[in-house]
Amino acid sequence: MFSCVLCEKNEEYLFFSKFCAKCRKIKHHLNLSGERVYEVLDNVLGRNLEGQDNKIKEELKKEIEEKTYNLRNKEKK
């Protein structure tokens, strides 16, 4: 039986992909956000549960600020 190369489960595994549906989603995020995905995973999942909520909020805030900043810069050009 074939399994997904990332999570090593068989669920929803498709022949034409090395990844299952869920892991393809991770791959999609990697393609879109690149290094940021590793940063977020490290910062958010590398903490204990209590710290996670706060960190998630921080990460989201940072992301929103960056996007707002980029939008403002684009408008200036």
Segment interacting with Zn ion, rule: CB under 5 A, options 15-23, 31-39, 42-50, 60-68: 15-23
From CA 51, how far away is CA 49, in angstroms rounded?
5
Residue 23 lies near Zn ion (rule: CB under 5 A) = yes
Residue 40 lies near Zn ion (rule: CB under 5 A) = no
| Residue found under tokens 């690149």 | 34
Residue of the chain from 1, 2, 7, 41 that contacts Zn ion (CB under 5 A): 7
Distance linking the first and last C-alpha atoms of the chain: 54
Q: Indicate the residue among 3 and 68 with the shorter CB distance to Zn ion.
A: 3
From CA 24, how far away is CA 17, in angstroms rounded?
8
Residues at the contact surface with Zn ion, assessed by CB under 5 A: 4, 6-7, 20, 23
